[in-house]
Amino acid sequence: MGTAAVHLLLLLGLLHAGPGGEGRKGWRRRGPAARERGEAAAAAPAESFPLDFTAVEGNMDSFMAQVKSLAQSLYPCSAQALPHDLRLHLLHNASVTCNDGSPAGYYLKESKGSRRWLLFLEGGWYCFNRENCDTRYDTMRRLMSSKEWPATRVGTGILSSQPEENPHWWNANMVFIPYCSSDVWSGASSKTEKNEYAFMGALIIQEVIKELVGKGLSTAKVLLLAGSSAGGTGVLLNVDRVAEQLEEMGYQGIQVRGLADSGWFLDNKQYRRTDCIDTITCAPTEAIRRGIRYWNGIVPERCKLQFKEGEEWNCFFGYKIYPTLRCPVFVVQWLFDEAQLTVDNVHLTGQPVQEGQWLYIQNLGRELRNTLKDVTASFAPACLSHEIITRNHWTDIQVKGTSLPRALHCWDRSLHESNKNGKAPLKGLGLGHSHPLLCYTRQPDTGSREAINSTMRTFPRSRTFSLAMNLTS
């Protein structure tokens, strides 16, 4: 056995024998009785176990880089051939389309041997009538048509195949589903002579699942349906439906979970009320009311039954649909979400924040935090931003000393243990800050209006996000 192989085995041995892990207990039980048990069980297949990363948690990036380097030295040919790009597959069922009637599709990077699948729903607002859909088509056509989609995409953040960037999911089967339905992944209406646009977001997800079953999803152990912004809301609307679809197809053994990033919006009162003219100025409740009719949108039956007929729009808001969900869902939500502030007509354009705006922002953070108090697993930094899980610096975000990838890994392991033992998932994994805009400071403070005004004056809006990332670690 080569030196590199020995080093790799030693590293993995240290992991498995980390503090409190089963590996350490195993080394202590090497007496005659233990050897007899080992010989008796030799014919049985080895039980799989999740690696315990506790021993190297403080230096995970360095450790993963070493593992990757050793793996490449052991298997240089296969390592060089590993595809880092996700490749485009247009749906075989041509009746399931984007807004303009072009075929919908998905990007796939297969990971042979892995039984974990990550499906990501792209975000990108919505449109809710002919006029603003026409404007959207003129200005953001890639969100309504597949005609100019590239043949490949490079995965970033949780879709990255680089262990340094994506420590726990880098070797999963990755699927990126582009958003081209403009309906928050809820629509079920095709393009006709009467309907200028198709809205088939919910049907696109179902069709992708059907095709992936033939590409290895049928043998999956875990399917994580993730999404950001409108895609995050799409996760809440579709995660149970995906689980039910797989069960109906005969794949009851696949554990379906959800990861909703920046899709937990509030149906609150706007800071300054304006007429519902377009996506930006329209209050969220009114926009969804109009949209669900225009899209022929569908919501989960369990949520629908909680409201009167015609009030199904309530299911687009996280705190209302979450209690009705059967699948476990991890919620990632900035307490001061830029998209929420935009639809609430709080526009932070680099000018000093007015007292009324500041009080509104503080109250928004409190309201949002309160809606998360009954969420089993959440990660809620008190920062001004929007979306995170596909950013290449998503590992830098920390809440109370815990990074987002680490929090997801803990949640993943708790679900693994619960499923193995037939118990309900562990609760109490909520992580969140109570100090407004804490990501702009190294120590907790009162988040004064003067502090945010200073930040806005010093840093252009285009750099505010990266500033929040750098000062959180």
List C-alpha distances in Å: 296 to 186, 293, 299. 8, 5, 10
Instruction: Give the model's pLDDT for residue 422.
Output: 64
Task: Please name the residues in contact with 150: beta carbons below 8 A apart, sequence gap of 6 or more.
Answer: 88
- Residue 240 bears catalytic tag: no
Each residue of 415-469: pLDDT tens digit?
988 877 665 554 445 555 433 333 332 223 334 444 333 333 322 332 222 223 2
Instruction: Give the model's pLDDT for residue 413.
Output: 92
Greater confidence (456 vs 372) lies with 372
Instruction: Give the model's pLDDT for residue 65.
Output: 54
Q: What is the mean pLDDT of residues 71-79?
A: 45
Mean pLDDT for the chain? 78
Task: Please name the residues in contact with 337: beta carbons below 8 A apart, sequence gap of 6 or more.
Answer: 262, 265, 368, 385, 386
Given 386, 409, 412, 414, which residue is catalytic? 386
Given 52, 183, 240, 337, which residue is catalytic? 337
- Residue 229 bears catalytic tag: yes
- Residue 435 bears catalytic tag: no
Each residue of 344-366: pLDDT tens digit?
888 877 777 788 889 999 999 99
Alpha-carbon distance of 452 to 351, in angstroms, equals 10
Confidence of residue 159 (pLDDT cuts 50, 70, 90): very high
pLDDT at residue 69 tops 70: no
Confidence of residue 192 (pLDDT cuts 50, 70, 90): confident
Instruction: Give the model's pLDDT for residue 2.
Output: 52
Each residue of 300-349: pLDDT tens digit?
999 999 999 999 999 999 999 999 999 999 999 999 999 999 888 888 77
Each residue of 31-67: pLDDT tens digit?
444 444 444 444 444 333 344 444 444 455 555 555 5
Whether the pTM exceeds 0.75: the reply is yes
Each residue of 48-58: pLDDT tens digit?
334 444 444 44
Least confident of 176-180, 220-224, 459-463: 459-463
Closest among 271, 264, 288 to 371, alpha carbons compared: 264
Given 229, 262, 385, 403, which residue is catalytic? 229
Each residue of 82-135: pLDDT tens digit?
556 999 999 999 999 999 999 999 999 999 889 999 999 999 999 999 999 999
Instruction: Give the model's pLDDT for residue 61.
Output: 52
Confidence of residue 371 (pLDDT cuts 50, 70, 90): very high
In total, the chain counts a number of residues equal to 473
Least confident of 162-176, 282-296, 382-396, 439-453: 439-453
pLDDT at residue 223 tops 50: yes
pLDDT at residue 399 tops 50: yes
